[in-house]
Chain A
């Protein structure tokens, strides 16, 4: 099952622009993860941010985490056509290692 909320559900921008996706969750977490899924393919892990971290970078990706607001954002800078995919956030809880998933944001980068 998928829980949590992501917005926007869909985002279409021009190549070169920055893309920002948000994720909200409901309970305390151990960490929050972002994944990418290209059409017809499996999920690929992008970045993991722990509950005691506020910001993390990986290449053109920047992830922030605000535990007081129970929200996270994923920023992709200088977008490329190859970034076109669906992006999912998932939260991991303290007591087990099952992930709770957001519904995903479909990102389209127009050349």
Chain B
């Protein structure tokens, strides 16, 4: 199956700063990647679908200007949380989908 990495694995930042999370597909060229967020002990919520070379598709209720997604190559998608606030603290997970879903290990974001 596809191997997916994320960086950083955890980040702590001050309110108002921007945080970039990278998702890399190490052995599969992914035209599509998915970004999820998960609050403690809650469901995984799909945020957006990242499309290589074109704009991401955001789910209803997700602010595209808040969560900037860039999928510049077939192996890298980035999610930037702009002007982060404490309510953005969450676990962010990316995945690639050759035939089935392969998830990255996740990034834990804590905004102080």
A contacts, CB < 8 Å to B: 1, 30-31, 33, 35, 37, 40-45, 48, 86, 88, 90, 92, 97-99, 101, 104
Contact B43 A37 (CB under 8 A): no
Contact A43 B34 (CB under 8 A): yes
Partner of A104, one of B39, B40, B49, B100: B100
Contact A43 B100 (CB under 8 A): no
Interface residues of B, dominant DSSP: strand
Interface residues of A, dominant DSSP: strand
Contact A30 B44 (CB under 8 A): no
Q: Can you show 23 pairs from A to B with CB atoms below 8 A apart? A: A30-B41, A35-B44, A37-B97, A40-B32, A40-B97, A42-B34, A42-B36, A42-B46, A42-B101, A43-B36, A45-B44, A45-B45, A45-B46, A86-B100, A90-B44, A92-B42, A97-B38, A97-B41, A98-B38, A98-B91, A99-B44, A101-B101, A101-B103
Q: Chain B contact residues (Cβ within 8 angstroms of A): what range? A: 20 to 34
Contacts of B101 in A (CB 8 A): 37, 42-43, 88, 101, 104
B25-58 with Cβ < 8 A to chain A: 32, 34, 36, 38-46, 49
Docked pose: A99 CA to B105 CA in angstroms: 10
CB distance from A89 to the nearest CB of B (A): 12
Contacts of B106 in A (CB 8 A): 98
Contact B43 A48 (CB under 8 A): yes
Contact A42 B103 (CB under 8 A): no
Contacts of A97 in B (CB 8 A): 38-42, 91
Contacts of A88 in B (CB 8 A): 101
